[in-house]
Amino acid sequence: MIEQANNPDLIVLTGDTFEKETTEQVDAFITFIDSFNIKWAFTYGNHDSSSLISDSYYINKKIMASKNAVFVDYENDDIYGLTNYYINLQSNGKNVYRLYIIDSNNYKSAGDGGYSIYDVIHQDQLDHLQKIYDNQGDKAPGLAFFHICLKEFVTAYQGYSDGIYQGQGYKKDPFGYGYKNNGVYNVMKSCGIVGTFAGHDHGNDFDINYFDETNHMVLSYGLKESDLNYYQTDMVGYKIITLPDNPSSFSYSDIKETKVSYS
């Protein structure tokens, strides 16, 4: 699929790249994706942590040592999660967009003997996000990439279904959002983020221009990239995001997808 994508400037993997992986599988994957000589970014999903590797930081160390990964996340940095970094996209020496790559974590225990529920982006991660935006000083518009969707994806899809919001796509899976709404959307809004991209729900595929009283933000799911694990036969492929010169015009129509047939 990477060969078909017409040489993208950057590949972003939004989680669940691995499950019960071994060091050999991690090494093989990194060698494979590096072989395309295209810059790539990585964040974790809820399954990536179900590893057979004793070193929980092994994946990060191997990615940071790879040739083409655009990845920085330091061990023991006192920020929750394993990916909390950003990428500045520049034109003529000016930051024109900023990509925030965020770990939405995996599960939160519901107590002794209880079931596990999906976690959220934690407060210290949100503080880190706000600090990046404030300290850069350029107010560059942003895109955020993570795995577990925000609760606002539910509202957006309902509004899209009711004809309130413009968009494209559809859903087949229940929404697997985090166990609480802790204000992630509002922090992203305050950081000038104009688009958010989640993975996670393998059967959901939509891009919606979501509006609240003061803000516009595209809420989007990435397509599942293979037939491994569970998948919908008509929802495997990739999306290409083309960033307009005017960030305020960024829309669902700037997101195109290509699907690969599995049967």
Least confident of 109-118, 171-180, 243-252: 109-118
Q: Is-contact 119 103, C-beta < 8 A?
A: no
The set of residues, in sequence order, having a beta carbon less than 8 Å from that of 186 and lying 6+ positions away, is none
Q: Is-contact 58 103, C-beta < 8 A?
A: no
Mean pLDDT of the chain, nearest integer: 89
pLDDT in tens, 189-225: 999 999 999 988 878 999 999 998 888 999 999 876 6
The domain locations on the chain are 76-259
Quote the pLDDT of residue 222: 84
Bridge partners for 89 per DSSP: 97
Section 22-49 average pLDDT? 92
Q: Say how many residues make up the chain.
A: 263
Among 180, 177, 172, which residue's Cα sits nearest to residue 199?
A: 177
Q: How far apart are CA 136 and CA 130, in angstroms?
A: 10
pLDDT in tens, 56-87: 889 999 999 999 999 988 888 899 999 999 99
Q: How far apart are CA 17 and CA 204, in angstroms?
A: 17
Quote the pLDDT of residue 61: 94
Among 54, 74, 80, 69, which residue's Cα sits nearest to residue 17?
A: 69
Strands 255-259 and 94-102: unpaired
Quote the pLDDT of residue 192: 96
